Amino acid sequence: MKNALVIARRELGSYFASPLFYVIATVFLGIQSFMSYNILSFFSYQSFQEAQIQQMGLTLNVNEMVIEPSLINMGVILLLMSPLITMRSFSEEMRQKTFPLLLASPVHLWEIVAGKFIACLGVLSVLVLASSYFVGFILAVGSPEIGPILTGYLGVLLMTGCYVAIGVFASSLTDNQLVAAVITFGFVFLMWIIGWAAQSAGETAGEILDYLSLVNHLQNFTQGMIDTSDLTYYLSFIAFFLFLTYRVLESRRWR
C-alpha cells in the first residue's frame, strides 16, 4: 500500500501542476454554483409563499428542496468532468511508451492500479470539497440538518469512486486519451440512466435495473440514510472495475 500512495502522490502532483485541472475546476465550480444558486432562488421564492403553503398543511424543508437536488446535480456535473481526469491514467503511459517501465519496476501491478485510482479520486474529491462553500452559506442563513449533508457528500464521493474506477479501466484499454474519455462517459452515463427502463422491463428485470443504477443508490445518502446495500453496491462496483483494469494490464505484460 505504501507504493500505491507514493504513486498517488506523484500523480496528484502532476495533475495539480497541469493547467487542465484548473480549467476543469473553474468549469465545475461555475456550473455547480449556477445550478445551486437557481435551486436556492426557487427555495427563497417558495419561502415568500410560506404563509399560503402552511395553510395547505405543507412545510418547506431546506434539505429536500436545496441540499438534495444540489448533490444530485453535482453527481451529474462530475459525470461530465471525471472522464477528463481519468483519461490520462494509463493511456498517457502507453502513448509515451513508459508503461513497460512501470511493469518492469518492483512495484506490484495492483499497487500501480490503486495508486492511479487514488490520485484520480483525490483530484475529484478536491472539487467536491471545494463545492462545500455553498453548504457553508446555507448553514449561515438557514438551519438544515447536518446528517443528510454529511451522508450526502459521502454518497457523492462513493459514486465518484465508481466514475473513477470506470475511467481508469477505460484508460487501460487504449493509448488514445480521447477514446478513453468517450468510453468512460458513455458507460457512466449508461449506468446513470439504466434505471429509467425499470418500469417497462417487468418486475424482476426492473428490480435488477433499479439496483444497477448509480444514482438510485445516491438518493438514500442524500436523505441521511446509510444502507449497507448501497455501500456494498458502490464498493463492489469500484472493486470490480479495478479488478478488470488489473486483468487488462496483466494481459499487456505478456504481449
Per-residue pLDDT reduced to its tens digit, 58-72 = 556 777 778 888 899
Q: Which residue has the higher pLDDT, 53 or 167?
A: 167
Question: Under DSSP, is residue 84 helix (H, G, I), strand (E, B) or coil?
Answer: helix
The reported pLDDT for the residue numbered 49 is 61
Per-residue pLDDT reduced to its tens digit, 128-178 = 999 888 888 777 766 778 888 899 999 999 999 999 999 999 999 998 999
Lowest model confidence (mean pLDDT) among 36-45, 78-87, 120-129, 221-230: 36-45
Average pLDDT rounded to a whole number, residues 102-107: 76
What does the radius of gyration of the chain's CA atoms come to, in whole angstroms? 20
Average pLDDT rounded to a whole number, residues 46-60: 57
The reported pLDDT for the residue numbered 116 is 94
3-state secondary structure 11-66: HHHHHHCCHHHHHHHHHHHHHHHHHHHHHHHHHHHHHHCHHHHHHCCCCCCHHHHH
8 A C-beta contact, residue 86 and residue 170:
yes
Grid cell digits, residue 173: 484499454
The reported pLDDT for the residue numbered 48 is 61
Q: Which residue has the cell 513497460?
A: 100
8 A C-beta contact, residue 139 and residue 216:
no
Confidence at 190, pLDDT banded by 50, 70, 90: very high
The reported pLDDT for the residue numbered 53 is 52
For residue 102, give its domain range.
2-253
Average pLDDT rounded to a whole number, residues 85-97: 87
Nearest in space to 241 (alpha carbons), one of 188, 198, 190: 188
Q: Which residue has the cell 478536491?
A: 126
Per-residue pLDDT reduced to its tens digit, 23-37 = 999 999 999 989 888
Average pLDDT rounded to a whole number, residues 34-50: 74
- The share of the chain scoring above pLDDT 70, in percent, equals 91
8 A C-beta contact, residue 184 and residue 83:
yes
CA–CA gap between residue 245 and residue 183 (Å, rounded): 14
Q: What is the mean pLDDT of the chain?
A: 86
Q: How many domains does the chain have?
A: 1
Confidence at 77, pLDDT banded by 50, 70, 90: very high
Q: Report yes or no on whether pTM surpasses 0.85.
A: yes
